[in-house]
Amino acid sequence: MNKLLRQHSVIEGKIYLIRGRRVMLDKDLAVLYGVKTIALRQQVKRNTVRFPKDFMFRLTVDEAGSMVSQNVIPSMKHFGGYLPYAFTEQGVSMLSSILRSKKAVLVNIRIMRIFVSLNQYLSTHQELAQKFKELEDRIEHKIGEQDEKIESIINVINQLLLRPSIEVPKAKFRIRGFKK
């Protein structure tokens, strides 16, 4: 069980957010599948029709440099002299159709489960964020109502202050027990 949890966190740590998509890099996938990166790339090149742009794309120099500058990877040497391919969830799924070893299939199943759990996790947080936003809007609306009430009270007070003062006539009668 502990080994499975470690593998889960290792795989999760290899999922990056690039171009607004969660992806895994070819080098990381090759290590997980137990194949050489060059062999994985060759299989992909032989089957390019299976990998449209929304399944796989090549990182730009800037994107690779950004990963180095953010300490996501140690250096550009980590890529082995080539800009890596990034595989989306669908691209990783498609890899299972070209890499047919038993290990590749088992690892692919595990990766798919992790992507699903990440999607569920993010979906839950998006729902919470939406509910929080709705609550925030309601509070702002109530504050707006209170602001209007406070403003009307201030207007009434200002009107009272601006009125000419009225002199209260002196009492013409005396109150017993009081001397003046």
CA-to-CA distance for 160 and 138, rounded, in angstroms? 33
pLDDT digits (tens, 9 = 90+) for 26-57: 988 888 888 888 888 999 999 889 899 999 99
Say if pTM beats, i.e. exceeds, 0.75. no
Q: Classify strands 21-25 and 85-88 as parallel, antiparallel or unpaired.
A: antiparallel
> What are the chain's domains?
2-126 (3.10.260)
Roughly how many angstroms between the first and final C-alpha of the chain, as a whole number?
97
How do residues 127-176 score in pLDDT, each as one tens digit? Answer: 766 776 777 677 766 666 677 777 777 777 767 666 665 555 565 666 66
* Separation in Å, CA 11 to CA 7, 124, 136, 170: 6, 21, 37, 91
